[in-house]
Amino acid sequence: MRIALLGGTGDIGRGLALRWGRDANHDLLVGSRDPEKAREQAESYEATLEDRGASADIDGFENAMAADRADVVVLAVPAYHLVDTVEAVADRLDSETVLVTPAVGMKRDEDGFHYNRPGAGSVAALAAEAKPDDVPLVGAFHNLPAGGLADLDEEFDWDTLVFGDDPDAKATVSDLAAEIEGLRPLDAGGLGNAAEIESVTPLLINVASENKGLHDLGVKFW
């Protein structure tokens, strides 16, 4: 399977690229608005994996070219770039492409981080409005600490909540998540549940920042 990580030079993109590169066997495409930066990061990810005795096929492209080549497209971009990114690659997506959003809208004040719920109801809803109608959208990977995800020396036992209205697309993303060692996907229902899931992320950041030893805090359901 070919997985494109749009905005794959950022924190969540790096973490997913390294974890899938080590734990699974997929062609990974790092996307960026700057193709040279994408290629440099792809080479860096490959080198990091080689240092740990692993190898992966990772290439870098401009976002639209990465999306054009992929079966699964992960929108590893901040919430404020999400709509622009979807619109920029929309003509490269079709009904066979699974679009994945891990983006969370947040704002910060003196008390900490807070969920910045958009007028559409959730960041996932913004993606749903921007994408072509026939492209399935799935939400996943929202509540993962990017630092811990990208640190291959870090062992974890986390859950990721997966939601969407297309059962087959949701199953595809759940299977991909399960390939990452220490990560368990849980079905969280349809896209209408996005806001509840997205809003957990700022809570985790606040708890992690206020409690010593919890800098890579994830979620586990029992």
pLDDT (0 to 100) of residue 115: 97
Q: What is the mean pLDDT of each run of 10 residues along the chain (222 residues)?
A: 96 96 97 96 96 93 97 97 97 97 96 96 98 98 94 95 98 98 98 97 95 89 94
Which residue ranges make up each domain of the chain?
2-210
Q: What is the pTM of this model?
A: 0.96
Supply φ then ψ for residue 81, to 5 degrees: -105, 0
Token pair 């990017």 is found at 146
Whole-Å CA distances, 90 to 54, 72, 83: 34, 13, 10
Residue 35 near residue 58, CB atoms below 8 Å: no
Evaluate whether 63 touches 85 at the Cβ level (below 8 Å): yes
Closest by CA position to 83, among listed 75, 91, 95: 75
**pLDDT value of residue 216:** 83
What is residue 164's predicted lDDT score, i.e. its pLDDT?
98
CB atoms within 10 A of CB 128: 22
Which long-range contacts (C-beta less than 8 Å, at least 24 apart) are formed by 42-49?
Answer: 45/14, 45/17, 45/18, 45/21, 46/21, 48/18, 48/152, 49/18, 49/21, 49/22
Architecture of domain 2-210: 3-Layer(aba) Sandwich (3.40)
Burial of 168 (0-12, 13-18, 19+ CB in 10 A): exposed
